Amino acid sequence: MTSLNVGRASSGSEHKHLPQNSDVEAPPPEDTENTTDIEHVPVHDDPRQWSHARKTITLYIVSLATMVSTLTTNIQNPSNSLIEQDLRTTSTQISWTLATFIIIQGNFPLLWTAASEIKGRKPLYLVASAVFAAGSVGVALSKTIGVMIGMRALEAAGSSVAMAISAATLADIYDTHERGTMMGIFFAAPLLGPALGPVFGGLLSEAFNWRASFFFLTICGGIIFLSFLILFKDTFRHERSLTYRAALQRRIASRERIQCSSESTVAGDECSKDQAPVNIPEKQLQHRSLPGKTVVPTSAAGLDDLRLSIKDINPFPPYFRIMSRKNNALILTANGFIYSCNFCISYTCERTLANAYGYDALSVALVLLCMGIGCIAGSVVGGRWSDRVLAKMMEANGGKWHPEMRLENVKLMMLLLPPSIIGYAWVCEKHVNVAAICVMLILVGFSSMWINGSTFAYLIDANPGRSSAAVAANSSFRGTVAFISVMIAVPLQNSLGDGGLYTAWAGVLVIMELLILLVLRKGESWRKESDENGGKSESESGNGSESESEA
């Protein structure tokens, strides 16, 4: 009979087959010196041991995919009037194309993330790239606004995979001390996309027509598909996924009960007494190990090709599990509002420049490019500085670290962001020279992305084994907040003016910064408390879940 065993970490996606009736070795007492997190479980072809060249290729491919994903969001803005005339539609219907795109791109990553825990990263990238290309060509060939909205929805679903699992892909190949720098480089791509989107859209519409922008996106989708097909090597390893390992544990326990049930007709109840299923709480799956040994659920015969059930891949339990942790909830809230403020500025700045300065779409795009430049600089420089601060803190702490150390990096930019927002508010309100607006946009982009980059890296570090779920939760939360913010931005701008609107936003961001400081102070104790409660819940719910499956 098969039982759940503690064995040496298996290689690749294969699991060792242990003899039947082997004993279960009890987990060792808590020992901080002999523990390892799930991210460092030994695996075959460890992505963290890949060559610098392969890692760099992976970084550039996922960065390109993410840049195209964000570029797609607003590439149509310069040609909205042309679309309205060509499709004989209204401005309200045109706005639905953007609204539909934002909502789907923000929330669809929940599904992509769940799927990536089953099939790995590469198959998802390939499928999503094909969906994106199909959606883009569908928009380009649309004859009615209804078809265009539907194709924009398909386009958003395909583009969202890059936002969902690219950061998790980088977490697969880079260790903690490297992530700040690499996340900073990675973040430059999705930040460059929104800045370049209107520029490409304006140039292509002016040279050809509005459909040219979406044929351009179709070509980009094809290039990305081929890049993933030919140059990309999958970074996902089952042993480092809590979702897969928990499913494996349940499947082994289920096989035990079935076999035990059949044997009990002959041998009575001795089987159920002697071979009770073993439930290992999530905390133990994540942390426990012995020197040279790791608590790894090993598979029974026939389970090497484990297929996860609907319950296993349900994206909502991981989402709510991420949100249930106080440190995650506060960081997600702060990230969502900082991102939403930037999105509102990009949206309303176009109206201000068009109405007060008489700028055309291409001129507006060039001004907004200043914000993109600031975002890229803040992301790259902030990422490198984050790693430097983390290294110094680890050295001062005897080589030990905790994820909250990452947040020490943001204190300096907290002093710059609200004043930059207020400065932008009033140079727009007073209609001063556009050069002042450009300077304020650079400062806003630089300081906001410095903070966002560090808090995003913190989410990855604070959720080992669930990095893709954390990224999806971040995408969903900020996409939803941004959608609401953009929907009310114009009415507030009309009633309060840029000065009143963004002074209020500065006040909101001060509150968000206080939330980050609270996590910096209390996050470590909150995480320990959540780990303890999570382990108990996992243990208590295990038998109930298994009973339901058996029924």
CA distance 361 to 199: 8
Share of the chain above pLDDT 70, in %: 71
CA distance 538 to 530: 12
CA distance 272 to 437: 73
The rounded Cα 535 to chain-centroid distance in angstroms is: 24
Longest dimension (CA), the chain: 90
> Residue 504 is encoded by which pair of tokens?
């209020």
Res 452 pLDDT > 70: yes
Q: Which domain holds residue 497?
A: 47-241+314-533
CA 307, 471, 544: angle at the middle one, nearest 5?
45
Weakest-pLDDT range from 40-44, 340-344, 533-537:
533-537
**Which residues neighbour 40 within 8 Å (Cβ) at sequence distance 6 or greater?**
none
The pLDDT value recorded for residue 180 is: 64
* Residues comprising the chain, all counted: 551
CA distance 477 to 335: 9
Higher pLDDT: 424 or 317? It is: 424
CA distance 235 to 44: 11
CA distance 219 to 213: 10
Is residue 66 situated within a structural domain? yes
Is residue 498 situated within a structural domain? yes
Confidence grade of residue 147 (pLDDT, cut at 50, 70, 90): very high
pLDDT tens-digit map of 486-504 = 778 878 888 999 999 999 9
pLDDT tens-digit map of 387-415 = 788 788 887 877 777 788 878 888 888 99
Weakest-pLDDT range from 304-308, 370-374, 383-387:
304-308
Cα distance from N-terminal residue to C-terminal residue, the chain: 21
CA 390, 395, 397: angle at the middle one, nearest 5?
95
Confidence grade of residue 534 (pLDDT, cut at 50, 70, 90): low
Which helix (DSSP H) or strand (DSSP E) does residue 68 occupy? Answer: helix 52-74
> Residue 249 is encoded by which pair of tokens?
């544990």
Q: Which amino acid is at 393?
A: M
The CATH number of residue 482's host domain is 1.20.1250.20
CA distance 158 to 268: 55
> Residue 161 is encoded by which pair of tokens?
């995979």
Phi, psi values for residue 289, rounded to 5°: -165, 160
- Find the helix packing angle between 121-140 and 145-173, rounded to 10°: 160
> Residue 80 is encoded by which pair of tokens?
């909205």
Is residue 253 situated within a structural domain? no
Burial class from Cβ neighbours inside 10 Å (0-12, 13-18, 19+) for residue 332 reads: buried
Q: What is the residue-averaged pLDDT of the chain?
A: 75
Confidence grade of residue 307 (pLDDT, cut at 50, 70, 90): low
Task: Tell the residue number behind the tokens 């890229």, with chain if given.
Answer: 376
CA 514, 427, 410: angle at the middle one, nearest 5?
25
Radius of gyration of the chain (CA): 25
pLDDT tens-digit map of 209-240 = 889 999 999 999 999 999 999 988 887 776 66
- How many CB atoms are located within 10 Å of the residue 263 CB? 15
Is residue 380 situated within a structural domain? yes
pLDDT tens-digit map of 21-71 = 333 333 344 433 334 455 666 666 777 778 888 888 888 898 889 889 888
Q: How far is CA 263 from CA 130, 140, 259, 266, 512, in A?
A: 50, 63, 6, 6, 59
Is residue 279 situated within a structural domain? no
SS3 percent helix, strand, coil of the chain, rounded to 5, is 80, 0, 20
Is residue 284 situated within a structural domain? no
Is residue 231 situated within a structural domain? yes
Confidence grade of residue 320 (pLDDT, cut at 50, 70, 90): confident
The rounded Cα 400 to chain-centroid distance in angstroms is: 26
- Find the helix packing angle between 52-74 and 91-107, rounded to 10°: 150
Confidence grade of residue 197 (pLDDT, cut at 50, 70, 90): confident
Higher pLDDT: 72 or 118? It is: 72
Task: Please tell me whether residue 303 adopts helix, strand or coil conformation.
Answer: coil
**Mean pLDDT (whole number) for 257-263:** 62
Q: How far is CA 255 from CA 2, 4, 25, 208, 541, in A?
A: 8, 11, 19, 63, 18
Q: What is the tally of structural domains in the chain?
A: 1
Res 256 pLDDT > 70: no
Burial class from Cβ neighbours inside 10 Å (0-12, 13-18, 19+) for residue 230 reads: exposed
- How many CB atoms are located within 10 Å of the residue 395 CB? 10
**Mean pLDDT (whole number) for 541-547:** 41
**Phi-psi domain of 120 (left: phi exceeds 0; alpha: psi -120 through 50; beta: other):** left
Q: How far is CA 47 from CA 270, 312, 510, in A?
A: 45, 25, 39
Confidence grade of residue 135 (pLDDT, cut at 50, 70, 90): very high
Query: What beta strand segments (E) does 166-268 contain?
Result: none
Is residue 216 situated within a structural domain? yes
Query: Do the Cβ atoms of 319 and 110 come closer than 8 Å?
Result: yes
